Amino acid sequence: MKKSLLSITLTSLIFIAFAVIAYFALENSLNESSTLLITEDREWDLQLNDNSYAHLSNSEIIALVRTSFHKNMTMTLSTSFSYDASAMDFPTLFYPANHVDLAVYLDDMLLFDSTEKVSNTCTYGFGFYTIALPKQNYENAVLTFEITASDDYHYNSVEPPLVGEYTDILFFQTRKQIAPLAVGIYMIVFGVALIILCLIFYKIFSMLRELLYSGILMTLLGLWCLSSCGISAFFLSPSLVYLLKYASLYCAITIFLPYLNSIHSINRPKLIFGMTTTFLSLTLVAIFLHLNTTFNIDRLFPLYMFYTIFDLILLIYLDVHCIFQKEGSKSVLYTFLSISIFAVFIVLDNVILFQDINFIPSKYFLLQTITAIGAFVFIVVQLLNFLLFTIENEKLESKNHHLNVLAYTDAMTNLANRAFVDAKMSELDANPSEDYCIISLDLNGLKEVNDTYGHDAGDKLLITFAYILNDTFGDLGLTARNGGDEFVVILHDITIEKLDTLLLMLNIRLAHLDANEPLVNHSVAFGYAFHHEFPDESAHTILMAADKRMYKTKNRQKKSNPTPKDR
């Protein structure tokens, strides 16, 4: 899990670096190109509502459209231009037309007529139109646009067209919207990665809900960023872009409240569940009706803006509460602040879009860029939070491991203790078909050593024996101190012949110690039992059988060697 989160962080930094490199690459590529004819400062002739206007600037056209251009009305824009397209590979006319039906003429020749006609019930025509031009040299050619409005309140953009090589136009638009484009792609990738991580590691994530909601929210906002920047219309149909824009925004707004609750408990579970369920159901119904062309999904936009403002007020309250009441960690506070910045930009973006007060394209692109910056701040804080989570989780795992070692390790010998043996025996009972061997060992003469030479000498005897025991059997199974002078070894997949050989080696090593320290008894009594000898019995019963055999061996040792050390 730690490696996965660190991988996401590293990938994110690489992605950001590539986005910056791509931006400057596009900038240099565009600067080297001279094929674009930008008509923003060109004068236009306008015919609207049986009125004709000559030599209007783009801003003057916008002022007329805001007050006089309504649903199903058609206006005609025309201008003359000179341009040499004879040497181009793909001479293209590019026109952004949101929520309108479009017909384009060059002199008297029809170049384009939009295939998605304006309907009385459903609005399409969202995106960019790219129109192929004949390869020729144009001298004072008259370019005419017939534009039909699809609704009264939509953002009916009257924007200047571009003429040039297709790739140059694509680069130009990509550069203008590189911020929302890059942020949108990254948020989708990052969000999906979080969702997958939550599904894989759901049993061990301590902050599963927060990460899962964060992944879903980032994926939805990424879809909204991509569908909001018109560059997506180069690759997707206008109707799909239109649906994605509103559906992703509505779902993101809906999921926002439970996301906040996952970070900082609001203690209103019924209210949160009720609002989330209601708005999510409303979104699904709106999508269904929209797909059946009986309802425009954007009709619900004011309602969701109200819901967004409610979320924003709640978010600001939580910000203030965390700052002044000092509740929650710094991670929670930074997350709230980053979401607040992002939410404010989203509200501004959509309020301006809905109020139809931003007709100047450069301002709209600037606002999208600011929104993308807000999203970038949110992403950076999320990355820092995940890094912090990874570090804190590593510290917690290290602490838990240390506590686990203390709980299951004998402090003197560093072997497993009785609690670990009990846990191991429960595992053995859970797999009754598996064969194993339990050895019970009792160190001879420990009491005499303690009484004669002191407890330090007794401790040394225990530590020395534990080292030899673990060195002999440690690679093959579990070696443990069961308490006092009693030890236990549990082995899997071992034959009696190999076991007897290992026990003989143990006795030989103890005999060498006995020869070097003749005043201390280094002998041990042992007994062992196999599971296949008692196939229907528990591991505890097999340990008791090994104990009985060990005591028989101990009694034989006392009878055969009745020295003071063995008494």
Is residue 503 within 8 Å of 496, Cβ to Cβ?
no
| pLDDT value, residue 526 | 92
- pLDDT tens digits for range 447-474: 888 888 888 888 888 999 999 999 999 8
Is residue 147 within 8 Å of 158, Cβ to Cβ?
yes
Cβ neighbour number for residue 110 with a 10 Å cutoff: 11
Cα–Cα distance between 283 and 299 in angstroms, integer?
Answer: 11
In the structure encoding, which two tokens stand for residue 93, read together? 């006319």
Look at the block and give the residue holding tokens 């409005």: 149
In the structure encoding, which two tokens stand for residue 309, read together? 């403002």
Cα–Cα distance between 77 and 46 in angstroms, integer?
Answer: 5
Residue 389 reports pLDDT greater than 50: yes
| pLDDT value, residue 217 | 86
| pLDDT value, residue 351 | 63
Residue 564 reports pLDDT greater than 80: no
| pLDDT value, residue 18 | 57
Query: What is the pLDDT averaged over residues 267-288?
Result: 85
Distance, C-alpha 275 to centroid of its chain? 25
Cβ neighbour number for residue 262 with a 10 Å cutoff: 17
Cα–Cα distance between 91 and 141 in angstroms, integer?
Answer: 15
- Which helix (H) or strand (E) segment holds residue 346: the answer is helix 330-355
Reference 192, options 209, 165, 163, 212; nearest CA is 212
Residue 400 reports pLDDT greater than 80: no
Residue 543 reports pLDDT greater than 90: yes
Cα–Cα distance between 375 and 369 in angstroms, integer?
Answer: 10
| pLDDT value, residue 353 | 56
Cα–Cα distance between 489 and 528 in angstroms, integer?
Answer: 9
- pLDDT tens digits for range 329-347: 666 666 766 777 777 766 7
Residue 124 reports pLDDT greater than 50: no
Percent of the chain at pLDDT exceeding 70: 73
Q: Which residues does 273 contact at the CB level (< 8 Å), separation at least 6?
A: none
- Tell me the one-letter amino acid at 68: S
Reference 123, options 133, 114, 132; nearest CA is 114
Cα–Cα distance between 524 and 551 in angstroms, integer?
Answer: 11
Residue 148 reports pLDDT greater than 70: yes
Cα distances from 450 to residues 46, 223, 456, 458, 466, in angstroms, run 110, 75, 8, 5, 17
Backbone phi, then psi, for 464, in 5-degree steps? -65, -45
Most confident among 12-21, 132-141, 389-398 (mean pLDDT):
132-141
- Using DSSP's 3-state secondary structure scheme, residue 237 falls into coil
- pLDDT tens digits for range 10-50: 555 565 555 555 555 555 554 444 566 655 567 889 888 78
Query: What is the pLDDT averaged over residues 442-446?
Result: 87
Query: What is the pLDDT averaged over residues 549-560?
Result: 86
- Tell me the one-letter amino acid at 209: R
Task: Please provide the average confidence, as pLDDT, over all residues in the chain.
Answer: 77
527/18: higher pLDDT:
527
pLDDT category at 432 given cuts 50, 70, 90 is confident
Cα–Cα distance between 415 and 480 in angstroms, integer?
Answer: 5
Cα–Cα distance between 401 and 333 in angstroms, integer?
Answer: 30
| pLDDT value, residue 358 | 39
pLDDT category at 356 given cuts 50, 70, 90 is very low
Reference 379, options 149, 102, 109, 194; nearest CA is 194
Neighbour order of strands in the sheet with 44-48: 51-56, 44-48, 74-84, 137-149, 100-106, 109-113
Is residue 263 within 8 Å of 211, Cβ to Cβ?
no
162/500: higher pLDDT:
500
Residue 548 reports pLDDT greater than 90: yes
- Span of 32-36, 62-66, 284-288, 312-316 with lowest mean pLDDT: 32-36
| pLDDT value, residue 1 | 47
Is residue 440 within 8 Å of 488, Cβ to Cβ?
yes
Is residue 285 within 8 Å of 291, Cβ to Cβ?
no
Query: What is the pLDDT averaged over residues 495-517?
Result: 88
Cα–Cα distance between 259 and 273 in angstroms, integer?
Answer: 12
| pLDDT value, residue 399 | 78
Is residue 543 within 8 Å of 438, Cβ to Cβ?
yes
Cα–Cα distance between 278 and 471 in angstroms, integer?
Answer: 66
For the chain, state the CA radius of gyration.
Answer: 39
- Span of 173-177, 348-352, 561-565 with lowest mean pLDDT: 561-565
- pLDDT tens digits for range 201-236: 766 655 677 778 888 988 998 888 788 776 676 677
Residue 362 reports pLDDT greater than 60: no
Percent of the chain at pLDDT exceeding 90: 11
